[in-house]
Structure 1
Amino acid sequence: MLSAPSVPARTADRLPAPPTLAMVAGETSGDLLAGILLDGLTHRWPTLDSHGIGGAQMAARGFEAWWPSEKLAVRGYVEVLRHYREIVGIREQLLARLLAQKPDIFIGVDAPDFNLDLEASLKSQGVKTVHFVSPSVWAWRADRVEKIRRSVDHVLCIFPFEPALLAKHGIAATYVGHPLAGVIALQPDKQAARDKLGLASTDTVIAILPGSRQSEIAYLARRFFEAAALLHKTRPDIKFVVPAIPALLAQITQAAIDAGMLGALQIIQGQSHTVLAACDVTLIASGTATLEAALFKRPMVIAYRMNWLSWQIMKRKKLQPWVGLPNILCEDFVVPEFLQDDATADALAQALLEWVNAKTDAPEKIAAVEQRFGALHALLLRDTTKLASDAIETILLG
């Protein structure tokens, strides 16, 4: 297993006190990952000066957000075009500000379409650059490898096979484990989560997570709720719980109304981890949340829809038969995926019902999924904050 580069003893004495750090994290998942990374960095340098683009998790660690991470929460080629002028304007303003007061290091957290260009510009001006979370060149857009090589001094990888792949292209990288693997318990306490949400131990609970972006809610939420409505007709005993990002609450509520399901859904603000711990199965948008569900050892139905033109472009760049992260990492269709036109309410409802029925009719099927996801959790569990901080300290000294 690859580990972080070694750090000479007492190297912190040779670093600026404290170093200045610029970061950019896009959307909710990037904010969460960056917050975990900042835990390690602020432990090493308690008065760390950090600023850039971030969200609530980063702000809670003392990060100064010049723009909120939600500004970058756009997925899909057509969707990005609609926000292109604003996003490019933010990047240009941020670049000018960072070049005027150069940080000791820049860390781009995910958001590769925004960060790689920014990192390339900063690196060309002598700023050390790190990218946290390798772009998924093994799943999509292999042509990005050369851009990564030009843009970054080092990549912090969250999957164990990535450093060797990047090394083939001359890109320095360190496997630091997946931060979420250390946040989520190896054996989640389902009953404690249900107590917190007012759910009984005997309830059959389906968590519905239609995404963390406005475009995802627009394309998925009503369809997800329509699938829930089909189940509700035949199984009115099922409890449906929806963790909603506060900024998207109104949009999710409207989708529930449109699907005729507002009264049958328990919509709560945030608490996605509590909801995933409490559920029996989840209907979930493809993305980081699917890995979170896997770390909670929950069966799931993965779905995704986007603008038609964006889908035509994306599917041509797909390199593997799977889209959901749990399936990609297990190299198997451990859980079903329904993409674009296949993501109908009927298909989603049927797939959910199969998991619900398996709870009593085929418990071995549930156990097999839990075993696969347990092994995945163990593989991803490392001391991420220390490994990442060690690597960043070494880069600062380089």
Structure 2
Amino acid sequence: MSLIVAKFGGTSLADYAAMSRCADIILANPNTRVVVVSASSGVTNLLVELTQEHIGEERRMQLIKQIAYIQYQILDSLGSPQEVAARLDTVLSRISVLGEELSKNRNKARMDELLAQGEQCSSALFAAVLRGKGAAASAFDVRQVMRTDSHFGRAEPQIKTISLLAAEYLAPLLSSQRIVTQGFIGADAAGATTTLGRGGSDYSAALLAEALKATTVEIWTDVAGIYTTDPRIAPKARPIAEISFNEAAEMATFGAKVLHPATILPAVRQKIQVFVGSSREPERGGTWIRHQVEDAPVYRAVTVRRNQTLLNLHSLKMLHAQGFLAEIFATLARHKISVDLITTSEVNVSLTLDKTGSDSGRNGLLSESLLQELSQHCRVRVEDGLALVAIVGNKIASTPGVCRRVFEVLEPHNVRMICQGASPHNLCVLVAESEAAQVVRALHQNLFE
């Protein structure tokens, strides 16, 4: 049997009607045996606020009531089955306890446990929706198989262990029923709940597909596939029927929010095809991501990634010296900072830092301790309020005329950094975030319209 793992995002699970549509998608294909769910729309944001410092008792109770309201609305539409109601009561009680604990003592392990509760609710509810339509289905706690390290907030999956645990605990269940499980969360070797970072449900689905040797991962969201750019920025953006793993990885990495960047890695390792479609309009089709595609155009898409930080480092020690960059990268790594793009001159280095790939503490991406440590090596200047715009395609670095065409469009804008050549699939420019939408529209108009 060709096994399909389907993942549904929060907007696809916002209420009973949305869940019912998703259930119909699943039941239309007998090969869809594993369903990975995010928390219902809005729940994770409410849980994140619960983890914040200095929220008062009144606000904390308001947040818990809002979370309960979202879940109980769905439960009421189900007819309030007793076992699901009991499960929700247990989870909501745990949310209340964890919220109170965190108001007194912020603890990363407790924060992860709290953030995981949204998926516990949605998986129990969605399994009940499937059963209400006559399907054999049950909720499965993914923490039994999704083994990670103990890096709370951005835990790293243990690939080999996940495969072993999935074969032992999950695979035997699939012949007799549909399994609904949680995205975004896992557990370390001691059993403590961990999270994979925001957007990690796509990654969870791909990891489970890899472990179970599935043929397809379906990512169901609120848009009908991947577009040549964000349609909210450029109304003439076109849907893409098929793209390669390499193109999809570049698009996800450089800002296409329809897909989590790490999702592609397990798919590439096992050559699992990925489908991205709309749970609201499944009849519209979507985008297939495959190892090989028939069409490989020079220009495939334009993406934008906001909230970028440019770190400028100046030191005369760099001149004809060895080891300077190694020291800088080691310092950033110790502070869990992800370096993205880099350009160098004889005495200057410019780095872009991606907030989504780094641990951002309460004091922001660049803490005072990090800046002080860097200042021991060089003079440091930080620029915020930037956006990275990427042209994604094929043979960009080796196709004559690409730079001329792109730079003509960029002429009216102040470009802070240009990167090309490291990959044949992209050309990146760093611009002011206030100009990003205008740059994307202009590039899309020139390259695709």
Determine if the TM-score, normalized by the shorter chain, exceeds 0.5: no
Higher-RCO chain (CA-CA 8 Å, sequence separation at least 6): 1
What is the TM-score normalised by the length of structure 2? 0.28
Largest Rg, 1 or 2 = 2
Higher-helix-fraction structure: 1
- TM-score computed with the length of structure 1 as normaliser: 0.31
More strand by share: 2
